[in-house]
Amino acid sequence: MKFGTKAIHAGLEPDEATGAIMTPIYQTSTYVQEAVGKHKGYAYSRSQNPTRHALEQNIAALENARFGACFGSGVAAIDCLIKMLKPGDEVISTNDLYGGSYRLFTSIFAQYGIKFHFVDMSDTQEVEAHVNANTKLIWVETPTNPMMNIIDIKAMAAVAKKANCMLGVDNTFATPYLQNPIDLGADVVMHSATKYLGGHSDVVMGALVTDDEAIAKEMYRIQNSSGAVTAPMDSFLVLRGIKTLHLRMEAHCNNGEAIAEFLAQHPKVDKVYWPGFESHPNHAIAKAQMRGFGGMISFSLKGNKLEDAHAVLAKMKVFALAESLGGVESLCGHPATMTHAAIPKVEREKAGIVDSLIRLSVGIEDAEDLIADIEQALA
Ligand SMILES: *Cc1c(COP(=O)(O)O)cnc(C)c1O
């Protein structure tokens, strides 16, 4: 089955009781058992719920894998993955990392004896240099947030294989429509479904997907034991969002391209970070592993002043100043003082997150209106 058909049908069956074509919201905590231990596959909704189950099957299918698990947020999904590790284990992570992931690693898991290395993953040798006998996970985010660096998933899969450790990929920015890490050698894929999968800025949710039975067993054990599950209503909303994922992503990609090109020729703009440019340092890898370049763009201003960035953001009208991304509406933000404020300034600047950097989540409004909005804000 091709992507659009899977998005609409995978994992979904008409409701057995009524024929309802849409998966019902099974707003129930428990299930009546015929006899002790004899039930229809559902005993308690932390362990499993039919609406959540349909969504987990659907997301797994979109990543060309068999096992999916949904969580109360994206960071709860990453939390589940890191809980597969033990004290003394080490993780090699990209240095250009989502702020919440960085905080989870450094302020929660580091105190339980898990060691994290943050490295420049565009340099495969740099990653290999950090591998040792304790390395259990290589954690990739690509495109990265907010610098839109592209990490070569196949190259990281080769390093992970040699190191005999897991490769996990945060696929939130690309979505399964543009990139399938498991097909490129990853063991686990993570999504903040809050973003493009949900797509309508009305849900907070995370997902893990794997095609490895041993990892899946651990994933479900931890999901049930730690209990950071997602609710039936939210599962329904994300199922509904995914039905248009392919259409939305096409629109995000088209608008993203138009805006990146507009920014690149603007006299007040210093640098534009978008993997679709041929001049992007990792354009060739992006082209090889992605089917489109998405709607996430960052740019810096000439003079690199924090006040200038704040002034531009204050003048935006169609673009809303807000955290998050991936919804139908366009958002703008200031990584240094918003999403990446948790990362120390030195670390931030090492990754290129300068004071004038502005991040756009380009929505699916009309490109002309979005460009006019940026034009008046920059003027
Ligand atoms: C938002 C985000 C997360 C965290 O997801 P939540 O749903 O906010 O917990 C992780 N990774 C990336 C790339 C994100 O954008």
112 is catalytic: no
66 is catalytic: no
Q: Is the pLDDT of residue 283 over 80?
A: yes
Atom of ligand 1 nearest to the CA of 205: 7
What pLDDT does residue 247 have? 98
Q: Is the pLDDT of residue 55 over 90?
A: yes
- Measuring from atom 11 of ligand 1, which residue has the nearest CA? 98
- Read off the pLDDT of each residue in 226-230 and give the average, rounded to a whole number: 98
What's the pLDDT tens digit per position in 169-216? 999 999 999 999 999 999 999 999 999 999 999 999 999 999 999 999
What pLDDT does residue 184 have? 98
What's the pLDDT tens digit per position in 123-170? 999 999 999 999 999 999 999 988 999 999 999 999 999 999 999 999
For the chain, where are the alpha helices, taking DSSP H only? 3-9, 50-62, 74-82, 99-103, 124-129, 153-163, 175-178, 213-226, 232-242, 245-264, 283-289, 306-315, 345-350, 367-378
Record the tokens describing residue 111, joined without a space: 């105190």
- Measuring from atom 7 of ligand 1, which residue has the nearest CA? 74
- Measuring from atom 4 of ligand 1, which residue has the nearest CA? 74
**Contact present, 74 and 191 (Cβ < 8 Å):** yes
Atom of ligand 1 nearest to the CA of 78: 10
- Read off the pLDDT of each residue in 74-89 and give the average, rounded to a whole number: 98
Q: How far is CA 143 from the centre of its chain?
A: 9
What pLDDT does residue 67 have? 98
- Read off the pLDDT of each residue in 247-259 and give the average, rounded to a whole number: 98
Mutate to test the pocket of ligand 1, among 59, 75, 81 (most ligand atoms within 8 A of CB): 75
% of residues, the chain, pLDDT over 70? 100
Catalytic annotation, pick one of 170, 187, 234, 355:
170
What pLDDT does residue 340 have? 81
What pLDDT does residue 349 have? 84
C-alpha dihedral, 310 to 311 to 315 to 316, nearest 10°: -30
What's the pLDDT tens digit per position in 289-309? 999 999 999 999 999 999 999
Ligand 1 centroid to residue 270 C-alpha, Å: 27
What pLDDT does residue 343 have? 75
Ligand 1 centroid to residue 174 C-alpha, Å: 12
How does residue 95 score in pLDDT terms, banded at 50, 70 and 90? confident
Atom of ligand 1 nearest to the CA of 325: 15
What pLDDT does residue 350 have? 77
Domains, the chain, in order of start with CATH, read 3-242 (3.40.640.10), 245-378 (3.90.1150.10)
What pLDDT does residue 10 have? 96
% of residues, the chain, pLDDT over 90? 92
Lowest mean pLDDT among 94-103, 114-123, 186-195, 326-335: 94-103
Number of residues written out for the chain = 379
Q: What are phi and psi of 253, to 5 degrees?
A: -65, -45
220 is catalytic: no
What pLDDT does residue 145 have? 86
d(CA 169, CA 207) in angstroms, rounded, equals 12
195 is catalytic: yes
Ligand 1 centroid to residue 218 C-alpha, Å: 22
Q: Is the pLDDT of residue 69 over 90?
A: yes
d(CA 103, CA 37) in angstroms, rounded, equals 41
Mutate to test the pocket of ligand 1, among 192, 200, 201 (most ligand atoms within 8 A of CB): 192
- Measuring from atom 1 of ligand 1, which residue has the nearest CA? 192
**Cis peptide bond prior to 146, omega within 30° of 0:** yes
What pLDDT does residue 66 have? 98
- Measuring from atom 9 of ligand 1, which residue has the nearest CA? 74
What's the pLDDT tens digit per position in 29-52? 999 999 998 999 999 999 999 999
pTM: 0.96
What's the pLDDT tens digit per position in 318-327? 999 999 999 9
- Read off the pLDDT of each residue in 105-131 and give the average, rounded to a whole number: 96
Ligand 1 shell residues, CB under 6 Å: 73-75, 98, 100-101, 141, 145, 170, 172-173, 192, 194-195, 204, 206
Residue, of 363 and 100, whose pLDDT is higher: 363
